[in-house]
Amino acid sequence: MTEPALRIRGLSKSFDKPVITGLDLEIGAGQLYALLGPNGAGKTTTLRMVTGLTRPDAGTIHIYGISARQHPNEAKAITAWLPDEPMLYDKLTPSEYLAFVAGLWRMDPAVAAEEADRLLHWLDLWDERDTRCEGFSRGMKQKVALAGALIHDPKLLILDEPLTGLDAAMARAVKDALRAQVDAGKTVIVTTHILEVAERMADRIGIIAGGRLLAEGTLEELRTSAGTEGQTLEDTFIRLTSGA
């Protein structure tokens, strides 16, 4: 039996009040998983704990069988994180940014340079590779950050609201890039407010509210559990979260 891409057990986190309470979640490898929830549900907090940016109060996190709390660097080596605000340096060019990220992941320079060239072409950034990021649109910045997330060939790619603020063409490019990752056997986890995206792209969907996982499964499984057969994900989502 293969290891799940992400296994979370009993995860809890409180700030001034409990944000995540005893969350259990398991996401199989090689799928695109959409984590949905109303504002303040705890989606971003959960993913920040998975990526090591926020320390959990309790619980375990395993990424492809590696304990993210006990062996953070091993877990980080196979993970990429793309927040809603791209983690960029305005004064660096896309090429320089990718070189820096490759250095952080200690990639072989020749391999990294080749991969950077491929990503810059693939994400249509080649002509802007020597232009500083400070003048880029949000969509361009998001693509540069996505290239940075992909350059070390992560097995698990986690994206927080990756399509927010992108125009249709940019959103299509990002969605194609995510689907290509899944087709290549990688695992992608996204949070999104755009339910149509989850409906059309996700292999499985998790709905989180009040720091707990309310429902999880394929779209059909969610509809069945919510009693909304034949209806949209939006109807299902509202039904499931209205009582939370």
* Residue ranges in 58-87 that form contacts with another protein under rule CB under 8 A: 72-77, 79-81, 83, 87
Q: Which CB, 128 or 216, lies closer to another protein?
A: 128
Q: Is 19 one of the binding residues for another protein (CB under 8 A)?
A: no
Inter-CA distances, 182 with 18, 81, 130, 175, 241, Å: 33, 16, 30, 11, 28
Q: CB of residue 233 vs another protein: minimum separation in angstroms?
A: 30
Cα dihedral 169, 174, 175, 177 sign: positive
How many binding residues for another protein (CB under 8 A)? 51
Q: CB of residue 117 vs another protein: minimum separation in angstroms?
A: 5
Q: Which CB, 135 or 243, lies closer to another protein?
A: 135
- Close Cβ partners of 138 (under 8 Å, ≥ 6 residues apart): 165, 166
Q: Is 100 one of the binding residues for another protein (CB under 8 A)?
A: yes
- Close Cβ partners of 2 (under 8 Å, ≥ 6 residues apart): 28, 29
Distance of alpha carbon 28 from alpha carbon 105, whole angstroms: 25
Cα dihedral 64, 163, 205, 237 sign: positive
Q: Which CB, 37 or 148, lies closer to another protein?
A: 148
Residue with tokens 């940075």: 148
Q: CB of residue 221 vs another protein: minimum separation in angstroms?
A: 32
Q: Which residues bind another protein (CB under 8 A)?
A: 51-53, 72-77, 79-81, 83, 87-92, 95-96, 98-110, 112-114, 116-117, 120, 127-136, 148
